[in-house]
Amino acid sequence: MIKSKKYPRGNIYLSGGIQFADNLGASWRADCAERLRSVGYFPIDIVELDTAYTAEHGHLYRNFSKDRLLEKKSNVRKHFVHADIELIVHDSDALIVLYDESARLGGGTISEMQTAYTDNLPIFVLSSYEDWFKEVPEWLQALSTKVFTNFDDLHRYFDRLPEGILCRDQYGNHHSGSHYLCFLCGEPFVKNKTHFVSTISPLYCSSCVEIVKETHESHEDRYRFFVEYLQNKVANGDATDEPARIKASVKEKLRSKHAVH
Question: Cβ(167)–Cβ(40) under 8 Å?
Answer: no
Strands (E), 59-211: 94-99, 123-127, 146-148, 175-176, 179-181, 188-190
Angle at the Cα of 204 (from 200 to 209), degrees rounded to 5?
Answer: 120
d(CA 136, CA 126): 10
d(CA 199, CA 171): 5
Confidence at residue 194, expressed as pLDDT on a 0 to 100 scale: 84
pTM: 0.87
Q: Kindly report the number of other CB atoms within 10 A of residue 233's CB atom.
A: 17
C-alpha separations of 84 from 44, 56, 152, 153, 168 in Å: 10, 18, 27, 27, 20
Confidence at residue 245, expressed as pLDDT on a 0 to 100 scale: 63
The residues, any chain, with a CB within 8 Å of residue 156's CB and separated by 6 or more, are none
Q: Encode the chain (261 residues) as per-residue pLDDT tens digits.
A: 898 999 999 999 999 998 888 999 999 999 999 999 999 999 999 999 999 999 999 887 667 788 889 988 898 899 899 999 999 999 999 999 999 999 999 999 999 999 999 999 999 999 999 899 999 999 999 999 999 999 999 999 999 999 999 999 899 899 998 999 999 999 999 988 888 889 888 999 999 999 999 999 998 899 999 999 999 888 887 766 556 666 666 666 666 655 555
Q: What kind and span of H or E run contains 16?
A: strand 11-16
d(CA 260, CA 118): 32
The identity of residue 106, as a single letter, is G
d(CA 105, CA 114): 16
C-alpha separations of 142 from 113, 133, 199, 252 in Å: 11, 11, 21, 31
Q: What kind and span of H or E run contains 226?
A: helix 222-235
